[in-house]
Amino acid sequence: MERADLQFWLFVAQTLVSWGLLVVFVAWTTRESKVGPLLHRVREPRTYRTALLAVHTGLFVVTVAADEFPSALGGLTLAMAALLTVLAPGTDDQACGENGVSRGWFGLRYDELEEWRLSGQHLRFRMFGEWTAVEVPSEKRGRVRAILARVARDAESRYRE
């Protein structure tokens, strides 16, 4: 592959990673603004991300060490891809805050919940028509119930365990 071709494809890769970082930033700021100050957060296990970061690191070392490779552009692209890997939310990440809840990439304010119920160690709620849950430690349940009773009383599920 010619050097110009390689630089072109690295530019394409860097553009895609930049867009990915922008999407993650917008999703993160939107989600966090809806959740508000955190009461509890659970992040999914990051085993696959650790493996992916190891691959990024190996490629980064090879890229920077290669003489005939555009190492600055390649290294920057790989560093940005590693940052994207670290910052992207996991599908099972969950948070419960003063203003709302989040699951994966999405967050909802309490007053946006279609339906909810606080049962056991979880706040269960409908998100886009599907039931999901976030963990709420027992010491925070009273606080969460008080917030929900104040802002989303009408959305409480009639289902009782």
Question: Residues 101, 131: one domain?
Answer: yes
User: Which phi and psi (to 5°) does residue 157 adopt?
Assistant: -70, 145
The reply to whether 82 and 135 lie within a common domain is: no
Calculate what percentage of the chain has a pLDDT beyond 70.
Answer: 88
pLDDT digits (tens, 9 = 90+) for 110-123: 999 999 999 889 99
Q: pLDDT per residue over 24-80, tens digit each?
A: 999 999 999 999 999 999 987 767 777 777 777 777 777 666 666 666 777 787 788
Confirm whether pTM is higher than 0.85: no
What does the DSSP assignment read for 12-65? HHHHHHHHHHHHHHHHHHHHHHHH-SEEEEE----HHHHHHHHHHHHHHHHHHH
Do residues 107 and 142 both lie within one domain?
yes
Pairing of strands 116-119, 130-135: unpaired
The answer to whether position 72 is within a domain reads: yes
Question: Number of structural domains, the chain?
Answer: 2
The one-letter amino acid at 118: L
7 and 83 in a single domain? The answer is yes
